[in-house]
Amino acid sequence: MFAITGIEPCCAEGDTILIDPPRIARIGYESSLWHELGGVKRISVDGGYLVPGLHDSHTHLAFSLAVSADLRYVRDVGELIAVMKRHVEKVRRLGYPYVVGRGWDHEIFPSRAMPTIDDMDRVSTDHPVIAVRVCGHLAVVNTVMLERIREWGLERKYPQYIIKEDGRPTGVIVEELLWEVIGRLPPPPMNILINHTIRYLREYASYGVTHLNIVSVEERHVPVLEEALTKVPLVIGLYPHARAYAVVKSKARKAVVCGIKMYADGSLGAETAYLREPFLSGRNGEMLISRSDIVDALDLMGDEGQLAIHAIGDAAIHYVIELVNSLGLRPQRVRIEHASLTPPDVLEEIASYRPHVVVQPHFMISDWWADKKLGKDRARHLYALKSLHSATKVYGSSDYPVEPKNPLLGVYSAVLRPGIGSLSPTEALSVDDAFTIYSRDPCMGETMLKEGARADIAILSGNPRKMSPHDIPSIRSLATLVGGLPVYVDKGFVSGFDTP
């Protein structure tokens, strides 16, 4: 048992919390708890702001990043090629046979043109090269990788997902073909993957995050995650793909398998989201899910487990709700991931059915170009957080590696709604509501500051309710505890905790 003093709890009166791991024993004022604090170790965090542990309800392990070039900061095709060329030397040293990059966004290039197969051939004509767009729904490959795709028989299986102009492949591949290609890449060495995953968990803990829902999980992720969780024991819920569900469920010990991840459409950035009316370019996505897909997933899970269905476009959201309604599926078993474009009638459908809705407020910053793809009239219906929050239970997330892990950046975005010019300002969340959606997830429920609750808590460096929303991103975690035990401590500001 120990006490943390000098703190300001967000949801209770007092300046002290008494913890008897794994639970909160008391919250109150040090002066009134003196008779319970005798002989108890006290840790002073003067001015720290105590909150329930934060959640990220939709994140990816992104194993490919362990051996990928980081392309998030490239500003034109020439810079992308240069970064990827330098990465060729790194993979040669590692003995890894593919050249992979992730994170480019052609919308910020001066030409706004996507890279091509010719550009990727400038990276290498010896190694297979693939550069994945930031959204994860589109990539560009070189000639060697395209030949590999043909050898695997994937061109025959997914001809519609190899984009061509005048009958010639552009190098762009999308959706299910891309995911199968990524799935066929050999895993990096185990020690690299374990270290990558430990860093991933530690970074989350450094932001005050105690709970993660990791989606798109495959069998190969499980042993690595299990090992990493011995070092950073966060609370983890898993949503594997249907093909991996049974194996992941049988092998996961330190994480809970909560359901199955599915895709109904693509992304706005790749122009593969399924819309009622096409993008201004004339392109559009398509439905990637059918009634039989959902029935098969339900058969795998039995009477328990949630379907986490990616649906970004208004048509995709409508059809997902129509499908699950026709099956008589309880709304508690359905998560709609993203729910980006929600005009009033789609909001009404969500309010009537009331599924879980998992949003990514930081998309408002990254999707600053949405007006140019959808037109201003449609774009104002993007990321209608306040209406969604009124219609059903909403949860905050990052969709990492698409967006940064830090949930405080999500809170900032939900409150200020920066980025897309035509977004409706009336859809902003209050600071309290923004923290609420980051204090729960559909799998593990809600973290709470109350006596008897699990001590999944974070001590932040400032009170967001007493500062300008513009300053919220400057807040850091001073300490993060899971079950009353520290998983992260900022030693520069907090002493007395054992090093996690």
Do 36 and 74 sit in the same domain of this protein? no
Closest Cα to residue 116, out of 99, 82, 139, 147? 139
> Residue 216: which region, alpha, beta or left (left: phi > 0; alpha: psi -120 to 50)?
left
Query: Does residue 409 share a domain with residue 275?
Result: yes
pLDDT, residue 499, reads 57
Q: Domain with 72 in it: what CATH number?
A: 3.10.310.70
Same structural domain, 462 and 426: no
Measure the CA–CA gap between 292 and 307, rounded to whole angstroms: 14
**Same domain for 176 and 314?**
no
Give the chain's domain count: 3
Give me the long-range contacts of 289-296 (CB less than 8 A, separation at least 24): 289/262, 289/263, 289/264, 289/320, 289/323, 291/323, 291/326, 291/327, 293/242, 293/262, 294/262, 294/323, 294/324, 294/327, 294/329, 295/327, 296/242
109 is a domain residue: yes
How far is the C-alpha of 394 from the C-alpha of 436, rounded, in Å?
A: 9
Partnered with residue 485 across adjacent β-strands are 482
What is the side-by-side order of every strand in the sheet holding 356-359? 259-263, 306-311, 334-338, 356-359, 394-396
Give the torsion sign (CA, 102, 105, 111, 115): positive
In a domain, 322, yes or no: yes
* Residue 359 near residue 351 (C-beta atoms within 8 A): no
- Where a domain ends, among 150, 169, 184? 184
Q: What is the pTM of this model?
A: 0.94
Residue 177 included in any domain:
yes
Give yes or no: residues 277 and 257 share one domain: yes
Please indicate, yes or no, whether residues 177 and 239 belong to a single structural domain of this protein: no
Quick one: pLDDT at residue 494? 83
Residue 58 counted as domain residue: no
Same-domain check for residues 339 and 392? yes
Contact call for residues 397 and 405 (beta carbons, < 8 A): no
DSSP secondary structure string for all residues of 170-221: EEEEEHHHHHHHHHHSPPPPHHHHHHHHHHHHHHHHHTTEEEEEEEEE-TTH
Residue 309 to residue 141: CA distance in whole angstroms: 28
Contact criterion met (CB below 8 Å) for 340 and 383: yes
Residues 331 and 223 in one domain: yes
Domain end, chosen from 406, 426, 447, is at 447
Domain boundary among 184, 211, 244: 184
Q: Are 98 and 132 in contact (CB under 8 A)?
A: no
- Are 494 and 478 a contacting pair, CB within 8 Å? yes
> How far, in Å, CA of 246 to CA of 357, rounded?
25
Residue 296 lies in a domain: yes
The answer, yes or no, to whether the previous bond of 401 is cis (omega within 30 of 0) is yes
Q: Which residue has tokens 């803990």?
A: 205
pLDDT, one tens digit for every residue, the chain (500 residues): 999 999 999 989 999 999 999 999 999 999 999 889 988 999 999 889 999 999 999 999 988 888 899 999 999 999 999 999 999 999 998 889 999 999 999 999 999 999 999 999 999 999 999 999 999 999 999 999 999 999 999 999 999 999 999 999 999 999 999 999 998 999 888 999 999 999 999 999 999 999 999 999 999 999 999 999 999 999 999 999 999 999 999 999 999 999 999 999 999 999 999 999 999 999 999 999 999 999 999 999 999 999 999 999 999 999 999 999 999 999 999 999 999 999 999 999 999 999 999 999 999 999 999 999 999 999 999 999 999 999 999 999 999 999 999 999 999 999 999 988 889 999 999 999 999 999 999 999 999 999 999 999 999 999 999 999 999 999 999 999 999 999 999 988 888 887 55
- In this structure, the answer to whether residues 141 and 234 fall within a common structural domain is no
Q: What integer pLDDT is reported at residue 177 of this predicted model?
A: 97
Please check whether residue 60 lies inside any domain of the structure. no
CA 285 – CA 459 distance, rounded (Å): 43
- Measure the CA angle with vertex 331, ends 328 and 333; round to 5°: 95
Is 493 domain-assigned? yes
Tell me the residue range of the domain where 316 lies. Answer: 191-447
What CATH code is carried by the domain that includes residue 30?
Answer: 2.30.40.10
**The predicted structure's pLDDT at residue 190:** 92
Q: Evaluate whether 342 touches 317 at the Cβ level (below 8 Å).
A: yes
385 and 245 housed in the same domain: yes
The predicted pLDDT at position 500 comes to 53
> Does any domain span residue 59?
no
Q: Return d(Cα 310, Cα 410) in angstroms, integer.
A: 19
Cβ neighbours of residue 150 closer than 8 Å, sequence gap 6 or more: none
CATH code for the domain of 414:
3.20.20.140
Task: State the Cα–Cα distance between residues 223 and 209, nearest whole angstrom.
Answer: 22
φ and ψ of 35, to 5 deg:
-70, -20
Same-domain pairing of 152 and 206: no
Verify that 253 and 376 share a domain, yes or no: yes
Cis peptide before 22 (omega within 30 of 0): yes
DSSP 428: P
Copy the structure tokens of residue 411. Answer: 């809170």
Chain-centroid distance, C-alpha 309: 14
The secondary structure element, H or E, covering residue 75 is none
Task: List, edge to edge, every strand of the sheet that includes 209-217.
Answer: 54-59, 209-217, 235-240, 256-257
Rounded to whole angstroms, the Cα distance separating 467 from 308 reads 35
